[in-house]
Chains A and B, each alone.
Chain A
Amino acid sequence: MTKEEAKAVEKAENVPAVPWPLLIISWLVPGLGHFMLGRKVRAFVFAGVVCAAFITGVLLNGEIGVPQAGNPFSWLTTMAGLGNGVLYFLRLIWLNGVGGLFSSLPLGLSGGGDPAALGFSYGKTFLISAGLMNLLVVLDVCDIARGLKR
């Protein structure tokens, strides 16, 4: 099905358009999208779970995904890390400073973490999982806003 055909089907079935601003808000602040849609319990649970996983990852000396030269897999961990929204950017600013954040783009950023630390791999897993969970939250917000889910 082409993009135009998909749009025509959506229009015929009266499915609302994708609420991009809401999705961006939901991505940036975990749980805020659900909160704005009135799903307050879910909002607090999702915010709590994502933040808890992220903080655990940081405390375990995990590395947040940043693009690295010669390591194509680092782009995947970057995508997953970006899923954390504002938490990801705050961590990068914490590690690189505001100035360093812009001067080190795109391949010179520090993702933090200590590879020699016992919790390095665990921490990275927690950070990646937190980002992926928040991306699922964004998709959930999209479905609820479009009336495809209660």
Chain B
Amino acid sequence: MIDHSLLMIWYALLVSVFFAFLWREDAKGRRNLFLKTFLILVVGGIALGWLMYPFP
């Protein structure tokens, strides 16, 4: 059985770590970008799913 939420979180984690290390040089900048990207991906994904819920 596939857990969709877990996969979304795993994907968000990988992408966030990747861009944090690609685009930022210092530890603080990396941490901030990671948190921002991760939260946008996870919360945005849940929000989009919630918005699309009424549609078939």
The answer to whether B10 touches A56 (Cβ under 8 A) is: yes
The answer to whether B2 touches A49 (Cβ under 8 A) is: no
Complex interface bits, B1-21 against A, C-beta within 8 A gives 1, otherwise 0: 110000100110011011001
A-B contact count (CB 8 A): 35
Chain B residues near A137 (CB-CB < 8 A): 22
The answer to whether B25 touches A122 (Cβ under 8 A) is: no
The interface stretch among A64-72, A92-100, A125-133 is: A125-133
Residues of chain A whose beta carbon lies under 8 Å from any beta carbon of chain B = 41-42, 45-46, 49, 52-53, 56, 60, 118-119, 122, 125-126, 129, 133, 136-137, 140, 150
Of the candidates B2, B14, B17, B18, which one forms a contact with A119 in the assembled complex, judged by CB atoms under 8 Å apart? B2
Complex Cα gap A118–B4 (Å): 10
Chain A residues near B17 (CB-CB < 8 A): 45, 49
- Looking at the assembled complex, report how far the CB atom of A91 sits from the nearest CB atom of chain B, in whole angstroms: 18
- Looking at the assembled complex, report how far the CB atom of B11 sits from the nearest CB atom of chain A, in whole angstroms: 7
The answer to whether B18 touches A122 (Cβ under 8 A) is: no
In the complex where A56-B10, A122-B7 touch, is A133 in contact with B2 (Cβ < 8 A)?
A: no
Residues of chain B whose beta carbon lies under 8 Å from any beta carbon of chain A = 1-2, 7, 10-11, 14-15, 17-18, 21-22, 25
**Is chain B's binding surface mostly helix, strand, loop or mixed?**
helix
- Looking at the assembled complex, report how far the CB atom of A42 sits from the nearest CB atom of chain B, in whole angstroms: 5
Q: A46-B21, A125-B11, A140-B22 are in contact. List 13 more A-B contacts (CB 8 A).
A: A45-B17, A49-B18, A53-B11, A118-B2, A119-B7, A122-B2, A129-B11, A129-B14, A129-B15, A133-B15, A133-B18, A136-B18, A136-B22
14 contacts between A and B (CB under 8 A): A49-B18, A52-B14, A60-B2, A60-B7, A118-B1, A118-B2, A119-B2, A125-B11, A129-B14, A129-B15, A133-B18, A136-B18, A136-B22, A150-B25
